[in-house]
Copies of this chain bind each other. A is one copy, B any other.
Amino acid sequence: MKRSMPTTANRPARLDIEQMRLITKVARLHYIHGERQAEIAEKMGVSQASVSRFLTLAQEYEIVRTIVVPPEGLYPDLEEGLEEAYGLDSAYVVDISAHEEGVAQILGVAAARCLSSEFKGGPVLGVTSWSTTLREMAKAMEPRSGTGIKKVVEMLGDLGSPLLQHEAALATLQIAKALDAEAVFLRTPGVMPNPELLKVALGDVHIQTALRLLGEVDIAFVGVGPADFHGPLEEGDNFFSAEQLAAVRAAGAVGQLHQRFINAQGLPVDTELDKLVVSITLEQLRHVRRKIAVAGGAAKYTALAAALAGKWIDVLVTDVNTANFLMKHASRGT
């Protein structure tokens, strides 16, 4: 637990399965059973130095992950205020003290923790794995069973670079694995260049299966964002053009849920663009019992306010600053 800490994701080549077994075993003995390296070394017939090295490897391979979760209840006033103001089931506000590089990371981790209690309620969980926050959450999720969740389905097609798509798939899988559920992918571009291509995509059996499942989602991780480029997205990445985005904004859109646009009151903004998107529809989303949003950061202020106004969110995990903004907004608006 020392200098190697920055754990910058080295990408060490794949390793022998036996090696993996060994590393995992050592990691469990140390981190779960709390045995000292010396004990483990003796038990396994190697030197303490080797055990130390195994543990380092375990970090590099992300077999062990250390996460820091801001405790909940740090901002009871804000949390209660949000719940009250927007009729939420619950709100979690996390401390994001210094302008940390990644709001997403912290929120993701916080979400993983907060939501253990929220993960009950139905057999189908919807996710949007391309969101950074969600991917961080996936990494930080602890394997847990007995949640009653049977399927984890992606609610939005691919956006962004192919690399991102791969990571998204991985995240979906991780979540599914952690919940001991089946992963259902939506491996198709999330935004099509024209309606015809969307029709083609809908011909695929897997796509159909996934889309059908979107009508039965019980719990959803709602993806909230501005009606604009944001995060890792750029023009051309399976995404809208600058003109298209300008057009929907002109039509009143201030944000979107899975690329379905909404105005400041949270009402759907119907445009042609809607026919280009492969994702859960607002209609379908309305029927989801528990809609969870994990989002924060200045870029999302307005979109979040709109989503909340439209009652698209039941559970919110966000950071202090965003929470403050939302509270001000609520008092002004009401």
Contacts and interface: CB of A to CB of B under 8 A. Distances in A.
Interface of A: 1-7, 17-18, 20-21, 24-25, 27-28, 31-34, 36, 45, 58, 61-71, 73-74, 76, 80, 95, 97, 113-114, 117, 140, 142-143
A25 B67 contact: no
A69 B63 contact: yes
9 contacts: A17-B71, A17-B74, A18-B113, A21-B97, A24-B68, A61-B71, A64-B68, A64-B69, A67-B140
A210 to B, nearest CB: 23
Given A34-B6, A143-B69, A80 B18 contact: no
A27 B61 CA distance: 21
5 A-B pairs with least C-beta separation: A5-B34, A27-B68, A31-B66, A67-B142, A66-B66
Given A18-B113, A24-B76, 20 more contacts: A1-B1, A4-B34, A20-B74, A21-B76, A21-B95, A24-B70, A25-B76, A25-B97, A28-B68, A28-B76, A28-B80, A31-B66, A58-B68, A63-B69, A64-B66, A65-B67, A65-B113, A66-B66, A67-B67, A69-B143
